[in-house]
Amino acid sequence: MRQRIQVLVVTLLCFIAAGAQWDLVQVYAWGRMMADHSRTMTLSDAVSKTFDGEMCPICRMVAKARQKEQSQSNVPEVRIESKILLFFQAVPAVIVGAPRAVACFPGDASAMTKDRSAPPVPPPKIIVG
């Protein structure tokens, strides 16, 4: 449950950072305009009148907010005079030895029973809680 909430919050923040909230408000405004126009005319005429360029108060508010957002996000251009050179050192080789071989043959029961105790009888129950 907690992970779902975290994913939802991150998705919402990415949504807002991209400025998509204005797209949702614009879609709402178009829907309202289309519904208002369709009361007095056919649906095809209502759709064409909705998207003919005439702006409702909500559309004007969205346009003004987008323009304000774009003017605030203008970052002054900075020219870099020199390059930053990054050098990486080579990683030394790591040599790992092979594990010791354990001699275990089908007839050799001593290797199988060495340092092993019998399982508890009856096996322990798992309590989920």
The pLDDT score that the predictor gives to residue 120 is: 64
Q: What is the chain's pLDDT, residue by residue, as a tens digit (129 residues)? A: 889 999 999 999 988 888 888 899 999 999 999 999 999 999 999 999 988 888 899 999 999 998 888 787 666 667 777 777 677 777 778 888 877 766 665 555 555 555 666 666 776 678 776
- List CB contacts of 19: < 8 A, sequence separation 6 or more: 66, 69
pLDDT of residue 7: 94
pTM of the prediction? 0.50
One DSSP character per residue, 48-76 reads: HHHTSS---HHHHHHHHHHHHHHHHSPPP
